[in-house]
Structure 1
Amino acid sequence: MFSLANPPADFIENPFPHYDHLLRDAPVCPQPDGSFLVSKHADLSAVYRDTTTYISDKKQSFAPKFGPGSPLFEHHTTSLVFNDPPLHTRVRRIMTSALTPKALARMEPGLIDTVDRLLDRMPQHTDLIEEFAAQIPIQIIGNLLDVPRSERAPLRDWSLAILGALEPTLTDDQLALGHAAVIEFKSYLQDLIARRRAAPGDPETDVLTRLIAGDDTGQLSEIELIQNCIFILNAGHETTTNLIGSGLALLHDYPEQKQKLVTDPTLMNAAVEEVLRYRSPNQLGNRETTAAVTLRGVAIPAGANLHLCIGAANRDPDVFDNPTEFDITRHPNRHLAFAGGPHVCVGLTLARMEGRIALDRFLRRHPDFAITARTHGGRIRFRGYAALDATLSGAKL
């Protein structure tokens, strides 16, 4: 039996052959702890749509994992992603209203400027994660919450520690690091929120001001406000870093695909979608059953935790032709990198824009870049690189 809690030795570095095995032989795979790993695209799509039988609330499963009342428990059971209506509906509506097409169009020039400034200062020998991919979402989310630039340095480490606690198994050190990050981040946000209440920003561009104000259904409590500010950083930081980093690695590893993109930049939107499918930044989602169900002949009791294997579903041969091939011209591309149903990623348009602009501006400058070494992020749930050492080429003429 394949176990997420004790995966094969090569799983973190290369989970994809194991995904193919699950799709073929165990699309609903019972786990030793009583949970179930679900891999088929159709099953994930159905689970995402059925919010009555499959809920996002994780209080039952997170209490033993983090400790009831602990900092990580408070955060992950209050943030948008692990909640159902009415909190999910209220917070999502406020966030969505701040990420309209008009608002995103206003953000694009600033995003281009951010990317270009990063490229201007990159040395010929560089780490594409540290110096590029990880910097972009931190600056964009910092802008969304109007965090002063001089105060953004701790944001990345806080995010990595808090999201790292969502891995299937944790060491004591990882748990302690996650708790400490929540405490420090909360303390910072309490001060930032107090400053913003005293001097509100423009609600058309400042998501924090909009969250503080609430909407016609009411205001968020202080804890809801703080924890969902943390969520905004976490949801948009590591996943977007992984999208950009994996995109650069894949274009390096598949030079014929990179050449197509250099020759025809109009393929960039399709290329971003294929990166999202082929190396989904978030490999796993979760739901909990409210009633006994049967999936593909496997009986699942009420109260069971489901691990939704996005990374496998995006390789499902029932949905994708030649799913093991990286093809930037793939169409259609019905991947599940952003989940689906009412919980589909609220920032998916922003993430796509960040990926498109980052990869486009980078390739215009450095079409012949070479990756000389890489370090995997070491995570099961969030797949990406901790480092991509590279040598940059000259600018394209």
Structure 2
Amino acid sequence: MFDLAHPPAGFVENPFPHYDSLLRDSPVTPQPDGSYLICRHADLNAIYRDTTTYISDKKQAFAPKFGPGTPLYEHHTTSLVFNDPPLHTRVRRIMTSALTPRALASMEPGLIATVDDLLDRMPQEPDLIEDFASVIPIQIIGNLLDIPTSERGPLRDWSLAILGALEPTLTEAQLAKGHAAVSEFKVYLQDLIARRRADPGDPDTDVLTRLIAGDSNGQLSEIELIHNCIFILNAGHETTTNLIGNGLALLHDYPDQKSRLLNDLTLIDKAVEEVLRFRSPNQFGNRETTVEVEIGGHRIPTGSNLHLCIGAANRDPEVFENPTQFDISRQPNRHLAFAGGPHVCVGLTLARMEGRIAIEHFLRRYPDYEFSNQRIPGGRIRFHGYQSLPARLL
């Protein structure tokens, strides 16, 4: 039986053959700890849309994992992604109101300038993660919250440590690092919020000012405000880094598809969607059952934790023709990289825009890039990407 907490050798680096086997032989797999691994696209799609039977609240699951009252427990049970109405509704409404089409359109020139500046300063042998993919979302999310440029240095390390704590199994060192990151981030944000209260920004473009002000239904508490600021940074950082890094890696590894894109850059939007499907930056979601349910012939008890395998669902042959083929012109492409239903990623339009501009501008400048030394995988099960992509720019 496949055990997500103790996966087979090579799974972290290349889980996709294992997903194919699970889809074929065991699309609903009971886990030794009483949870269930769910792989089919139709099952995930139905679960995402039923917020009564399947809830996002993780207090029960995270208490033994992090310890009640600890920094990681406080964060991951307060942020948007692991909450249900009414908190989820309130916070999402405020965030959505700050990410209007007009606001996103106004961000595009700054995003293009950021990408082009990075390309102008790119060394001849860069690390495409450290020197490019990871820098872009930090700058964009930093701009959204209007974090002074000089104060953005620790943001990536905090984010990696906090999100790393969502892995199925943790060492004591990883747990301690995650707790410390939440605590340090909270201290920083308390000061930033105090400064913003004293000197508010433009609520049409400053998401922090918008979050502080709340809406007609009220304001967030200080703890809700702090942890959802952390969530915005985390959600917009590692996943977008992985989208850009995975995209450049895939186009390098599939030169026929790279040539197609270079010959017709109007395919860039479809190419980004195919990267999201083929190498989803976020490979897993989670839900908890509120009643006994039956999925794939399995009777699943109330209070069971479900591991929703996005990476497998996006290779489901019932939905995708030739699912193991990387095809930048794939249409339709009903992937679940951004989840679905009421919890569909609030920043999906921004993430797509970042991926499109970063990949297109990089290819225009350096169409014949090559990878130099050994790539270093990200080492995560939940988040799939690279820690390092050393390259040569030809």
**Pairwise TM-score range, normalised by the shorter structure:** over 0.9
Q: Take 2:148 and 2:56, find their aligned partners in 1: how far apart are those partners?
A: 33
What's the counterpart of residue 387 of structure 1?
388
Query: What is the SS of the residue equivalent to 2:194?
Result: helix
Q: Write out per-residue CA displacement over residues 264-313 of structure 1, whole angstroms, 9 at most, x where no aligned residue.
A: 00000000000000000000000000000010111100000000000000
What's the counterpart of residue 194 of structure 2?
194
Q: Take 1:296 and 1:16, find their aligned partners in 2: how far apart are those partners?
A: 21
Residue 320 of structure 1 pairs with residue 311 of structure 2: no
Q: Take 2:14 and 2:385, find their aligned partners in 1: how far apart are those partners?
A: 11
1:144-163 matches, within 5 Å, as 144-163=144-163
Query: What is the SS of the residue equivalent to 1:299?
Result: strand
Distance apart, 1:101 and its partner CA: 0.5
Q: Take 1:379 and 1:109, find their aligned partners in 2: how far apart are those partners?
A: 33
Aligned residue-pair number: 393
Q: Take 1:220 and 1:126, find their aligned partners in 2: how far apart are those partners?
A: 42
1:246-261 matches, within 5 Å, as 246-261=246-261
What's the counterpart of residue 115 of structure 2?
115
Give the structure-2-normalised TM-score. Answer: 1.00
Query: What is the SS of the residue equivalent to 1:368?
Result: coil
Q: Take 1:214 and 1:99, find their aligned partners in 2: how far apart are those partners?
A: 14
What's the counterpart of residue 74 of structure 1?
74
Distance apart, 1:65 and its partner CA: 0.2
Q: Take 1:272 and 1:371, find their aligned partners in 2: how far apart are those partners?
A: 20
1:1-397 matches, within 5 Å, as 1-372=1-372, 373-393=374-394
Distance apart, 1:55 and its partner CA: 0.1
Give 5+ residue unaligned stretches, structure 1.
none
The letter of the residue matching 1:47 is: I
Q: Take 1:22 and 1:53, find their aligned partners in 2: how far apart are those partners?
A: 24
Q: Take 1:55 and 1:71, find their aligned partners in 2: how far apart are those partners?
A: 22
Q: Take 2:22 and 2:182, find their aligned partners in 1: how far apart are those partners?
A: 35
Q: Take 1:344 and 1:386, find their aligned partners in 2: how far apart are those partners?
A: 26
Query: What is the SS of the residue equivalent to 2:308?
Result: strand
Q: Write out per-residue CA displacement over residues 78-104 of structure 1, whole angstroms, 9 at most, x where no aligned residue.
A: 000000000000000000001011000
Identity across matched positions, percent: 79
Q: Take 1:208 and 1:109, find their aligned partners in 2: how far apart are those partners?
A: 21
Q: Take 1:34 and 1:169, find their aligned partners in 2: how far apart are those partners?
A: 15
Q: Take 1:44 and 1:5, find their aligned partners in 2: how far apart are those partners?
A: 20
Q: Write out per-residue CA displacement over residues 60-79 of structure 1, whole angstroms, 9 at most, x where no aligned residue.
A: 00000000000000000000
Distance apart, 1:209 and its partner CA: 0.1
Give 5+ residue unaligned stretches, structure 2.
none
Distance apart, 1:328 and its partner CA: 0.1
Query: What is the SS of the residue equivalent to 2:389?
Result: strand
Q: Take 1:43 and 1:87, find their aligned partners in 2: how far apart are those partners?
A: 26
The letter of the residue matching 2:243 is: L
The letter of the residue matching 1:96 is: T
Q: Take 2:375 and 2:251, find their aligned partners in 1: how far apart are those partners?
A: 14
Distance apart, 1:167 and its partner CA: 0.2
Moved >2 Å (runs of 4+): none
The letter of the residue matching 2:143 is: N
Q: Take 1:215 and 1:374, find their aligned partners in 2: how far apart are those partners?
A: 46
Q: Take 2:353 and 2:160, find their aligned partners in 1: how far apart are those partners?
A: 22
Distance apart, 1:371 and its partner CA: 1.1
Give the structure-1-normalised TM-score. Answer: 0.99
Query: What is the SS of the residue equivalent to 1:63?
Result: helix
Q: Take 1:322 and 1:187, find their aligned partners in 2: how far apart are those partners?
A: 49
Q: Take 2:288 and 2:269, find their aligned partners in 1: how far apart are those partners?
A: 34
Please give the root-mean-square deviation of Cα atoms over the aligned residues, in Å: 0.4
